[in-house]
Amino acid sequence: MIQIDNVLVSDELKDTFFSCDLSACHGDCCVEGDTGAPLEEEEISILEDYQDFIKPYMTKEGIEVIEKSGVFDYDAEGEYVTPLVKNKECAFVYVENGINFCAIEKAWLKKEIPFQKPISCHLYPVRLSKVGEFTAVNYHKWSVCAPALIKGEKEDVPLYHYLKDPLVRKFGEEWYEKLSAEMKNKSFKQDA
């Protein structure tokens, strides 16, 4: 475990090699599981404000869920999550060429909204949790991502490198530079 400011980072972010392989996994992390993607409170108001720009990219069923229940739901612990269609896929998913994509991100890519997607989705396969006054950053192992482990190993991409953009988005550039230096230092010590 590495501590950078008030964030605890699992060594698995250095030791796990990862690179999404959508042609193999088809974005199944957006349609499998037992709950929607975790949402931060401020993300809910962003989704509410921009839902009219996101809806054109959503499925009919996803739009029906949003119009009936809103842009968020609660998981078993009472935490905010994205709503699901038929208790399975995220309401914001759409399919293109057999691959699941995010309608929120599509609106962002088309420069229609300033919000890329929920940070929990951008950070996946890591999950954030609170440990006292600290935020813990832990790798979430899931068989859906097995192709990403193979591709990451082939391409020699440590998970913390793969997740640079979302980690910077969440914690800042300076924080990421500290993390990167610590990860390299840990690697150097292990090699010595």
Q: State whether 131 and 187 are in the same domain.
A: yes
Beta-carbon count within 10 A of 119 CB: 20
Record the tokens describing residue 135, joined without a space. 């935020």
Q: State whether 33 and 86 are in the same domain.
A: yes
User: Is residue 100 assigned to a domain?
Assistant: yes
The DSSP element (H or E) to which 162 belongs, if any, is: helix 159-162
Q: State whether 156 and 98 are in the same domain.
A: no
Q: State whether 93 and 56 are in the same domain.
A: yes
User: Is residue 24 assigned to a domain?
Assistant: no
CA–CA dist 31, 48 (Å, integer): 22
Final residue belonging to a domain, choices 60, 83, 116: 116
Q: State whether 12 and 65 are in the same domain.
A: no
Final residue belonging to a domain, choices 90, 116, 142: 116
| Number of domains comprising the chain | 2
Domain coverage including residue 149: 1-18+125-192
* 65-74, long-range: CB < 8 A, 24+ apart: 65/91, 66/91, 71/44, 71/47, 72/36, 72/39, 72/44, 72/47, 73/36
Q: State whether 40 and 109 are in the same domain.
A: yes
Per-residue pLDDT tens digits of the chain, which is 192 residues long: 899 999 999 999 999 999 999 999 998 888 887 889 999 999 999 999 999 999 999 999 999 999 999 999 999 999 999 999 988 899 999 999 999 999 999 999 999 999 999 999 999 999 999 999 999 999 999 888 999 999 999 999 999 999 999 999 999 999 999 999 999 876 544 444
